[in-house]
Structure 1
Amino acid sequence: MVLTPFVSETVWGGRRLIDEYSVVTDKRNAAEAWVMSAHKNGSSTVANGEFARKSLREVYLEHPELGGKNCAGFSDFPVLIKFIDAAADLSVQVHPDDAYCLKKGSGAGKTESWYILDCEPGAYLLLGFEKDITREQFRQSITDGTLTDYVKKVPVKKGDFFFIESGTLHAICKGILLAEVQQNSDTTYRIYDYGRLGFDGKPRELHVEDAVNVTHTVVYKNPCTPKKDGNVTNLVACPFFTERVLDIDGSFDGTADEKSFVSLLILDGSGSLECAGETLEFSKGGSIFIPANCGDYKINGEAKILETRV
């Protein structure tokens, strides 16, 4: 299935996804393109085949077997994949885990990962703290406006990969374009937003108390080191998703077994996919969802592809 994204515009978003990744929207910008989403707040849409013009959420609710056996253990479709274009700094924020959301009675936990597609010279992320601090110090830094004195700036370059577990303070900063794979959640606790206004002319809401409750006030250490094996780079395998990058120059053979769907996000290049007697053409920015149990598939062309499974 070829997917078209749900597009989100924000005060920090840019237009690179529109100009370079074939994202179509009449919104002011394309801050985020939810390229594989079955979330209630914004679902991708199927563009071809028997489910054409239906949302991926609708299709999955009607046919949960398309997700595969590994999805059956989750209460909802487990993964959301995005492109994010930060023309300005995102807020300093944190995401809760499932246990906190269950206790609170709302939201969903969010562990995520970032693959850097491009960035301006000198670009950086905010990730965790320069040194371990107490929860009381964290709360006081928010109150007195000194939070950014404590957080850690992490320089980035194209091709870097970061795994961000729930509870990690973070911010994507100006000039970064990335692909995000995450738990299927839209729950964010905003801590600091530079005093700027939203499109409605009002300050954007902060969620300080929840943030203090869930943030790990420690130095960030990236738990994942990508491992290259021929034309495949394994990024991460966690309880929520497994990711790898395929660098294809000619052809690549894969399998969609009964365990999981396969998401193919085209980061660069073009080519075709042969699967279940069907051939689909793809290009940069494209998103393809191969249902579980479709069997063997072949990718032809020259392309860099982010492959995600559960």
Structure 2
Amino acid sequence: MLYPIKFHPILKEKIWGGGKLKTILNKPTETENVGESWEISTVGDDISIVCNGEFTGKTLNDLIKEYKDKLLGKKVYKEFGNQFPLLIKFIDAKEDLSVQLHPDDELAKKRHNSFGKTEMWYVVQADPEAKLIVGFNKDTTKEEYEDFLEKGEITKLLNFESISKGDSYFIKAGRIHAIGGGSLIAEIQQTSDITYRVYDWDRKDSEGNERELHTDLALDALDYNADKTFKLKYSKDKNKINNLISGTYFTTSVIEIENSFERNYKDLDSFKILMCVEGSGTINTQEYSLPVSFGETVLIPAAIENVFIESTSQGIKLLEVYI
């Protein structure tokens, strides 16, 4: 019997990581520089392992091979086979991440035999001065970009965005970006770990080494246009599905629940992911009940057509993701 599934988080120490994944999202770590919690993954050797119910100890790959379209959905399984198509993360940036971008599907396939990476961010928590870098602040050219990069003045071309809890951004492949220090982010992305790092704030690791840059690879992958459509506008009605974005790679909505909410998935041919970004509650199916808390992520198999979500007295806010 398929049921709502939780996985052990895969925690990643980063030079820019902090302590919020532990102190705010209650992730099981004793170190103070954990930058990422991979919630659902089949990327490389980082394969999610189930931590609830009868599937405990099985990997996500095991479940996909056994249940196929019943887990993923018919159209998803037909397109992606045994590869889970999304990578789901929480990111804690104590310091600024590198300025970077990701190639699109065509370029990533050609260079790396990989999917490209289009992604989105939802701000779970932000310190008062926290910012993101999203795109250029004006249309530029390859030549101008190279000139500013060579002079160490690339930040003069970048668009800085002040952020608050609940803000959301769409980062298409090719768009230059960086998560700024003081940001706690939920990230939804294509299954890919291909990143072109172009500037790292002249930062050095504990051994005095600078991290590798991918200057040449980035040149043909960059979108040099100053497109301002990246910040997502959405309704904030309670007990309703508030769509953030519907696209080729994923559809994401915010569902803020007071008391209870029934969600019917009968007409949706896809798995569903529910990320708890505030509060707590219980996700119920006809045969299974699963508590979910702030910072936890749940995979709802495609075969489950209906869930009934109950909130605690403090309410619950979920990001709902599917293809």
The verdict on a shared fold, with TM-score over 0.5 as the criterion, is yes
My pick for the range that moved more, 282-291 or 180-189, is 282-291
Percent sequence identity over aligned pairs: 38
Alignment partner of 1:267 out of 277, 281, 290: 277
Distance of 1:195 and 1:236 partners within structure 2? 35
Q: Secondary structure at the match of 1:254?
A: strand
Query: Which ranges of structure 2 fall in alignment gaps of 5 or more residues?
Result: none
When the two chains are superposed, the root-mean-square deviation of aligned CA atoms in Å is 1.7
Q: Distance in 1 between matches of 2:135 and 2:296?
A: 32
The aligned residue for residue 216 of structure 1 is: 223
Amino acid aligned to 1:217: Y
Q: Distance in 2 between matches of 1:105 and 1:24?
A: 33
- Work out whether 1:152 is the aligned partner of 2:162: no
Q: Is the 8 A contact 1:79 1:184 kept in 2?
A: yes
Question: 2: distance between equivalents of 1:58 and 1:38?
Answer: 11
TM-score by length of 1: 0.94
| Alpha-carbon spacing, 1:219–1:183, altered in 2? closer, same or farther (3 Å) | same
Query: Which residue in 2 is equivalent to 1:278?
Result: 288
Q: In the alignment, residue 302 of structure 2 is paired with which amino acid?
A: A
2:91 and 2:166 map into 1 onto residues whose CA distance is 15
The equivalent residue for 2:175 is: 168
Distance in 1 (alpha carbons) for counterparts of 2:207 and 2:287: 50
Alignment of 1:227 onto 2:235:
yes
Length, aligned pairs only = 310
Are the aligned partners of 2:238 and 2:258 in contact in 1 as well (CA < 8 Å)?
Answer: no
Q: How far does residue 28 in structure 1 lie from its aligned partner after superposition?
A: 4.3
Whether the 8 Å CA contact 1:5–1:44 is kept in 2: the answer is: yes
Displacement of 1:248 after TM fit?
0.8
SS at match of 1:299: strand
2:80 is matched with which residue?
A: 74
Structure 1 residues without counterparts, runs of 5 or longer: none
Superposition pairs for residues 51-200 of structure 1, below 5 Å?
Answer: 51-65=55-69, 66-72=71-77, 73-74=79-80, 76-199=83-206
Equivalent pair of 1:87/1:174 in contact (CA under 8 Å)? yes
Deviation, 1:123, is: 1.6
Pair 1:122–1:26, CA change in 2 (3 A)? closer
Alpha-carbon offset, residue 69 of structure 1: 1.9
Cα shift readout 1:21-44 (whole Å, capped 9, x = no counterpart): 121134443211111222224232
Deviation, 1:200, is 5.0
Measure, in 1, the Cα distance between the counterparts of 2:43 and 2:115. 11
Say whether the 8 Å CA contact 2:16–2:33 is kept in structure 1. Answer: no
1:204 and 2:217 are equivalent in the alignment: no
Partner residue, 1:305: 318
Given candidates 3, 6, 27, the residue that maps to 1:2 is 6
CA gap 1:18/1:230 in 2 versus in 1, 3 angstroms? closer
Partner SS state of residue 273, structure 1: strand
Q: Which digits, 9 at most, give the CA deviation of each residue in 1:184-227, with x for residues without a partner?
A: 11110000001212355421110011111111112131254223
Give the one of 47, 55, 62 matched to 1:43.
47
Equivalence for 2:262: 253
Q: 1:229 to 1:249 in 2, by over 3 A?
A: closer
Distance 1:108 1:201 in 2: 33
Q: Match for 1:47: what amino acid? A: C
- State the shift of 1:178 in Å: 1.1
Q: Aligned pair in 2 of structure 1 residues 154, 247: CA closer, same or farther (>3 Å)?
A: same
Q: Structure 1 residues 122-131 or 256-265, which shifts more?
A: 256-265
Q: Secondary structure at the match of 1:247?
A: strand
Q: How far does residue 228 in structure 1 lie from its aligned partner after superposition?
A: 4.1
Partners in 2 of 1:39 and 1:63 — Cα distance? 19
